[in-house]
């Protein structure tokens, strides 16, 4: 087990000439004293060699022991205590209460995967027994299940230092499925990454996992990530971030001699459509709810509602006035990095300067704090929105654009110009929604999660959650990065034909001792322990 690039655990090949960087404190515009070493190409090669070797052993370890490993990770993370939260608070500026919740979510995610692989049905075992005397041709014995694919490369995300980072939504299912993981730590929170990685390594040692089952590399640039994706031992990539970053990795992966899958979640504007009858009944409540969602976490969520669609009505004035007042009275918040803050203001100012766009309101900024956000909301007509693709794009931060359409036909036309989204929301009573089947169909086709009378911020970790969507919100709309089904990204189906029962994987044996669901000759059966 190795965390490369730093001398805490394992080994380091760092030299005096190796590039280094420090951890940034966004709320104070200062740096912490620790030095982090960007990995060398030699370290990348050694890491992947370890991971490939570990795969030969780890893929054969029983699921129950892999589950023990996942639970040990949760125990080691909790054992760090408040030091982990405090370091995350320093490196991200996120409130401690938010970080406590995110740590709990990370523990829950890992626990759910441990339970999933112990139960066993996730392998989708299917058994068709032989019929040697079938006419005109005999039938072979065929058995199929999902199997791990090999080393998975995980890129930590800037806005979720726990749940989408070192032990997050990509690492958990990849390890659960039987794949070694190599993490490229996010440079925005290297100290948090280090503490979490050490917890994983301790858990691996406790539970007897093979050396190389988990490694982590540092870099504050792009060279290490590119080298990991291009390495021939890499078999899949998990990424959460910008469209630019996700597509760069996707292109690298497709240009390899052996192309591999990149499961990239790349952001979304998460449109919200408010129908007129619902707006009339709940205009003030809706305005308050939307303002809270837009500014939650300084707007640094991939589910931030960046577009709100309405049609002209008598209730629109009250809604706009309440919305403006709510935004004005929301205090500023620290953004994750100076770069994210700079990009937010740049994109917001460019969008507001587009023809037909009017800024309705913006919040004050605390002058005595660094890297503060300024929540704002702007307005544009449906026609101008349709005519200008530049204002359709995501502004990562506390910003939302109100699109006012003259009628329902213009609303439909505006929706038709949207690309793929993680979410879409409809604010309407059921009877009103039923009047507009074309709108429901249009919204449904562009999103991974379709929400009624709710905002998109807040992602429940459960089997029925789909966190992904049509391109460009994600590179593959068939898969989720949240919930038990996210494990399907890191497996492949394999059939076994006419194998002796003693040589088959346990999940496919006739005398399977596991409590799993299996499809036997097209009939679902459950074998009890």
Active site residues per annotation: 265, 302
Would strands 142-148 and 491-497 be described as parallel, antiparallel, or unpaired? antiparallel
- CA-wise closest residue to 394 among 283, 312, 210, 271: 271
Q: What stretches of 434-482 show up as alpha helix (H) in DSSP?
A: 437-445
Give the CA angle between residues 92, 98, 100 to the nearest 5°. Answer: 100
Distance CA 65, CA 387 (A): 57
Beta-carbon contacts of residue 73 (< 8 Å; ≥ 6 apart): 110, 167, 199, 200, 203
Q: Are 67 and 409 in contact (CB under 8 A)?
A: no
Peptide bond into 472 cis (omega under 30): yes
Neighbours of 48 (CB within 10 A): 22
Q: Where are the beta strands (DSSP E) in 436-529?
A: 447-452, 491-497, 516-520, 523-527
DSSP secondary structure of 382-445: HHHHHH-GGGGS---SSEEEEEEESSHHHHHHHHHT---EEEEEEE--HHHHTT-HHHHHHHHH
| Distance of alpha carbon 1 from alpha carbon 202, whole angstroms | 9
**CA–CA distance, 382 with 387 (Å, rounded to integer):** 9
CA dihedral 434, 436, 442, 446 (to 10 degrees): -50
**Residue 178: which of 116, 258, 256 has the closest Cα?**
116
Residue 475 CA to residue 182 CA, distance in Å, equals 20
Q: What element of type H or E holds 308?
A: strand 307-311
Question: CA 382 to CA 379: how far, in whole Å?
Answer: 10
Contact present, 265 and 242 (Cβ < 8 Å): no
């Amino acid at each position: 087990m190795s965390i490369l690039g730093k001398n805490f655990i394992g080994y380091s090949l760092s030299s005096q000439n190796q590039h280094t960087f420090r951890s940034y404190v966004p709320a104070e515009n200062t740096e912490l004293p620790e030095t982090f070493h960007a990995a060398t190409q030699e370290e990348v090669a050694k890491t992947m060699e370890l991971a490939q070797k570990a795969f030969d052993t780890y893929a054969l370890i029983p699921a129950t022991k892999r589950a023990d490993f996942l639970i040990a990770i949760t125990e080691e993370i909790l054992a760090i205590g408040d030091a982990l939260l405090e370091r995350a608070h320093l490196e991200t500026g996120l409130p401690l209460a938010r970080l406590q919740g995110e740590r709990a979510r990370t523990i829950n995610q890992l626990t759910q995967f441990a339970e999933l692989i112990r139960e066993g049905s996730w392998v989708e075992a299917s058994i068709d027994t032989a019929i040697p005397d079938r006419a005109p041709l005999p039938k072979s014995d065929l058995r199929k299940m999902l199997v791990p694919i090999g080393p998975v490369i995980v890129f930590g995300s800037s806005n979720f230092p726990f749940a989408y980072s070192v032990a997050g939504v990509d690492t958990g299912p990849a390890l659960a499925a039987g794949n070694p993981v190599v993490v490229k730590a996010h440079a925005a929170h290297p100290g948090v990454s280090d503490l979490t990685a050490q917890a994983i390594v301790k858990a691996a040692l406790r539970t007897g996992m093979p050396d190389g089952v988990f490694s982590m590399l540092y870099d504050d640039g792009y060279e290490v990530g590119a080298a990991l994706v291009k390495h021939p031992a890499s078999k899949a990539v998990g990424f959460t971030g910008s469209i630019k970053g996700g597509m760069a990795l996707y292109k690298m992966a497709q240009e390899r001699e052996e192309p591999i899958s990149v499961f990239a979640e790349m952001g979304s504007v998460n449109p919200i459509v408010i129908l007129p009858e619902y707006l009339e009944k709940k205009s003030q409540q809706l305005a308050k709810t939307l303002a809270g969602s837009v500014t939650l976490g300084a707007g640094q969520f991939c589910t931030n509602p960046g577009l709100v669609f309405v049609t002209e009505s008598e209730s629109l004035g009250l809604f706009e006035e309440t919305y403006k007042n709510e935004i004005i009275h929301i205090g500023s918040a620290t953004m994750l990095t100076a770069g994210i803050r700079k990009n937010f203001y740049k994109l917001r100012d460019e969008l507001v300067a587009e023809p037909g766009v009017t800024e309705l309101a913006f919040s004050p900024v605390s002058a005595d704090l660094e890297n503060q956000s300024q929540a704002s909301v702007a307005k544009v007509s449906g026609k101008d929105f349709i005519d200008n693709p530049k204002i359709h794009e995501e502004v990562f931060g506390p910003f939302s654009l109100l699109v006012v359409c003259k009628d329902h036909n213009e609303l439909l036309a505006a929706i038709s110009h949207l690309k793929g989204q993680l979410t879409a929301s409809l604010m309407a009573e059921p009877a009103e929604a039923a009047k507009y089947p074309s709108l429901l169909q249009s919204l449904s086709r562009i999103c991974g999660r379709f929400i009624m009378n709710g905002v998109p911020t807040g992602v429940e970790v459960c089997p029925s959650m789909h966190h992904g969507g049509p391109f460009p919100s994600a590179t593959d709309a068939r898969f989720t990065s949240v919930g038990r089904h996210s494990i399907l990204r890191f497996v492949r189906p394999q059939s076994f034909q006419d194998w002796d029962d003693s040589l088959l994987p346990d999940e496919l044996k006739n005398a399977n001792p596991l409590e799993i669901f299996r499809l036997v000759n097209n009939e679902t059966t459950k074998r009890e322990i």
